[in-house]
Amino acid sequence: MSCCLSMSALSQSSQVLNLYSARHYQTDEALYANFTKQTGIKINRIEADDNALFERLRSEGKSSPADVILMVDAARLWRAEIEGLFQPIQSKVLETRIPKNLRSGDVGQGSQWFGFSTRARMIVYNKAAVKPTDVDTYEKLADPVNKGRVCTRSGSHPYMLSLIGAMVERSGEAKAEAWAKGMVANMARAPKGGDTDQIKGVASGECGVALTNSYYLARIMRSDKPEDRQIISKIGFVWPNQAGSGTHMNVAGGAVAKNAPNKAAAIKFLEYLASDQAQQYFADGNNEWPAVPSVKTNNEALKQWGSFKKENISIAAIGKNQIYAQKILDRVSYR
Ligand code: FE
């Protein structure tokens, strides 16, 4: 494969960084160009979705030229950590800038991965069919009042595994299982599609209520397309669990690859991602919030949303709990 030979050749230079990224957004161009300008380090990008990145890293093994890996969701980041795709790093900058609950646990020599932006798991409902007070917590989605109303993507998707993993963390396995069982009983249709498909189902009236990551909703809200305006006119949204545990939050994050040929450049790049300007580019590219608390979003849709109560659970614990989450899903046949 000519792609990989040239990557290995390039990886010999100290002025190069090989970036494996599951993200691709407009603002990323400025994000990377700015790093090269500041450091003189050129970035070679391999962009693919998370599953393709996993496959590639597994097959490349020890000879992988990857220096930095960017992925989304704690469930995937934790899995990559467990599979040995990352290495721990020590960085005062990252430890100071990235809150402890938004990075992997310490392993004696620093953290393995760091969240660089955050996303919320929100509830959207059909305004004509559903009262917002019936759907203002995750727990209520599993209540009999919502029978026949709930649409959901596959339970085994990382976004659902993480949500259930968070429930296991705060309420225990038995309650999380009862919830998953209630969700199955309330389904309007068999699980299918992604978060945007759930939003569309809610707008069309096929579904009364669904879960979505915040950036999918923000994307539709910022769109001028008539079909998107139509969707927005039909749906309402709530920040779940505001009177209790807060809205479930997750991250997009990154790590230094296990066999990074350019480790120093890789650490420099992750530290750069935690800088004020990079935080804004990184988060704004996908309508997310900066992970560094002092950095303010400059995204109009998110500014309009204002602030809300966020769940405060370690993202590392959420990632790990996917093991329990998957077993729960299997037991209640949440496909
Ligand atoms: Fe997504």
Q: Identify the segments of the chain with pLDDT beneath 50.
A: 1-5, 8-13
Distance 248 CA to ligand 1 centre (A): 15
pLDDT of residue 107: 63
pLDDT of residue 26: 84
The pair phi, psi for residue 255, each rounded to 5°, is -155, 165
| Cα distance from N-terminal residue to C-terminal residue, the chain | 37
Distance 257 CA to ligand 1 centre (A): 22
Distance 213 CA to ligand 1 centre (A): 7
Distance 111 CA to ligand 1 centre (A): 24
Distance 58 CA to ligand 1 centre (A): 22
CA distance 133 to 131: 5
Give the CB-side neighbour count of residue 318, counting CA atoms within 13 A. 26
Q: Topology of 119-247+317-331 in CATH?
A: D-Maltodextrin-Binding Protein; domain 2 (3.40.190)
CA distance 229 to 221: 7
Torsion of CA 260, 263, 266, 270, to 10 degrees: 110
Which residues have C-beta within 8 Å of that of residue 171, sequence separation ≥ 6?
none
Q: Which CATH number applies to 2-118+250-297: 3.40.50.720, 3.40.50.1000, 3.40.190.10, 1.10.357.10?
A: 3.40.190.10
pLDDT of residue 108: 62
CA distance 247 to 310: 5
Distance 74 CA to ligand 1 centre (A): 12
pLDDT of residue 251: 97
The pair phi, psi for residue 144, each rounded to 5°, is -55, -25
CA distance 154 to 152: 6
pLDDT of residue 7: 52
pLDDT of residue 105: 81
Which letter does DSSP use for residue 193 in this model?
Answer: S
Residue with tokens 């569309």: 200
- Predicted TM-score (pTM) above 0.85: yes
Distance 123 CA to ligand 1 centre (A): 15
pLDDT of residue 14: 56
Distance 162 CA to ligand 1 centre (A): 13
pLDDT digits (tens, 9 = 90+) for 213-230: 999 999 999 999 999 999
**Numbered ranges of CATH 3.40.190.10 in the chain:** 2-118+250-297, 119-247+317-331
